[in-house]
Structure 1
Amino acid sequence: MDLNSDFSQRVVVHTDQIDWAASPMRGVDRRMLDRIGDEVARATTIVRYAPDSHFSAHTHTGGEEFIVLEGVFQDEHGDFPVGTYVRNPPTSSHTPGSKDGCTIFVKLWQFDMDDRTAVTTDMNALDFEPDTDRHGVRSAVLFRDGREEVRVEAWEAGASIELDLPDGGEILVLEGSATEGGDDLEKHDWLRLPMGATLRADAGDNGTRVWMKLGHIPYAKKPDFAPD
């Protein structure tokens, strides 16, 4: 499957307008945002676990990055409530599920294959620093290396946001709303911008909180898949 796989194009997905599709595991459904590959894929997806559903134990050969959007995600490493950001690097393994149900935003096969840095962060407990170059913006870095930066930004109500993206980027709206490029972005909507783009957004009346990944678009290509 190829879905939104042309990374030279701007893409907006209003996630509540996508039907849920069943995964191979009973009780686990998904909304696909971009994808290259079949069941083993370079993929960006919103995944919903019904109560008492789970995946079988597996290894993330290409790594996994996720945010808990609703409920509590669980595996043998612990419980991860709403607002948790996790990076499970290549070769990591777990048995994911949820006793009471949850929804996560997840990215697969998008790591440097030599990356072994695990991250677990409660985004609700972060200290946000004012951005001296952009009025009305506060941010906190979740992860940074030589190929990408992942962060959370809080935009004040009505703030006008401008950010050059020489290596592209993507945004997931966590709270509030915004407009960008003529599109109204609501909670859990997703925007991907190509290399050389400029993000120009206006925060909504109640402000906006967004998750951002920057600099990774040059590496966005079909990986050499190995079995999970």
Structure 2
Amino acid sequence: MLNLDRTVRLAINTAAMDWEASPAHGVYRKKLEREGVESGLTTSVVKYDENTAFAPHPHPHGEEIFVLDGVFEDEHGQYPKGSYFRNPPGSSHAPKSPQGCELFVKLNQFQQGDTAQVHIETAKQPWRPGLVDGLSVMPLHSFTTEHTALVRWQPGTHFQPHVHPGGEEIFVLDGVFEDEFGQYPKGTWLRSPPYSKHNPFSEQGCIIFVKTGYMG
């Protein structure tokens, strides 16, 4: 078991972590949350070398992926950098990457009743104005209290202090995200517990992947 206590605030710079081999040749990962050796709740950064394939497998409790770099593929399509997709509980696929890729992956974390199949190429989607000047938002998925989005911060943007009753998770995709607790460069994974609060900003500008409202 790894980092499963969601009452603990975490900030992990994945760029400083070493890659670990997976059961599939040419596929590597950086483990962030893990319930079992090869099962259960999992959050990871995953790398596929060129011309790498993973054995066909099911996802009985769902899979959520954001493509960080390269092109990910399976029998259902191709997913270039910036793609966000959700394979619902009971789905299966045979993933591969002829070009190589890096992914942010969450397994077995769908809420009960969330069966939506989602595929969004964020590079082709519009940004919506955020709640303060300099902030833009791209909604990706919502179900009951859970909300997932990209948020873009122009340099010098400051947000108001706020609380996340259902917790918050962030992966920094570009630039440097900040709050009163520190600075978080590209590749940083943040997890803040339910009812945590902070005062976020970005002096340099950044783009972050954000999930809120999914922790009990």
TM class by smaller structure: over 0.9
How many residue pairs match? The answer is 215
In 2: Cα distance, 1:176 partner to 1:118 partner: 30
Partner amino acid, structure 2, of 1:140: M
Q: Which residue of 2 aligns with 1:91?
A: 90
Q: How does 1:126-141 map to 2 (within 5 A)?
A: 126-132=125-131, 134-141=132-139
Distance 1:145 1:110 in 2: 12
AA partner of residue 32 (structure 2):
L
User: What are the superposed Cα offsets for residues 180-210 of structure 1, whole Å, 9 maximum, x if unpaired?
Assistant: 34322111211000001123222132x1111
Identical counterparts, % of pairs: 36
Secondary structure, aligned partner of 2:200: strand
Which aligned pairs between 1:110-189 and structure 2 lie closer than 5 A? 110-132=109-131, 134-162=132-160, 163-189=162-188
1:128-187 per-residue CA deviation (whole Å, 9 max, x = no partner) reads 22123x332111211111130001111111111233211111011111112234322111
The answer to whether the 8 Å contact 1:161/1:199 transfers is no
Preserved CA contact (<8 Å) 2:13 2:188: yes
* In structure 2, C-alpha distance between the alignment counterparts of 1:180 and 1:112, rounded to whole Å: 29
Match of 1:191 in 2: 190
Please name the residue that 2:106 is paired with. Answer: 107
Q: Distance in 1 between matches of 2:55 and 2:112?
A: 23
Give, in angstroms, the shift of residue 126 of structure 1: 2.0
In structure 1, C-alpha distance between the alignment counterparts of 2:211 and 2:108, rounded to whole Å: 15
Q: Deviations over 1:34-58 (max 9, x none)?
A: 1112201201100000111111111
AA aligned opposite 1:97: K
RMSD of Structure 2 on Structure 1 (CA) = 1.3
Is contact 1:62-1:113 (8 Å) kept? no
Q: Give the deviation of 1:106 after TM superposition.
A: 0.2
- Corresponding letter in the other structure for 1:92: S
Structure 1, unmatched stretches of 5+, are: 219-228
1:74 alignment counterpart = 73
Question: Structure 2 length as normaliser, TM-score?
Answer: 0.95
Q: Post-superposition, which runs of at least 4 consecutive aligned residues in structure 1 deviate over 4 A?
A: none
Given candidates 203, 210, 213, the residue that maps to 1:212 is: 210
Residue 30 of structure 1 pairs with residue 29 of structure 2 = yes
Cα offset for 1:9? 0.9
- Seen in structure 2, the aligned counterparts of structure 1 residues 77 and 179 have a Cα distance that, compared at 3 Å, is same
- 1:25-81 deviations in whole A, cap 9, x for unaligned? 111000011111220120110000011111111110010000000100010111110
- State how far apart, in whole Å, the 2-side matches of 1:156 and 1:199 are: 19
Partner SS for 1:9? coil
The amino acid of 1:108's aligned partner reads L
* C-alpha distance in structure 1 between counterparts of 2:115 and 2:76, whole Å: 17
Per the normalisation by structure 1, the TM-score is 0.90
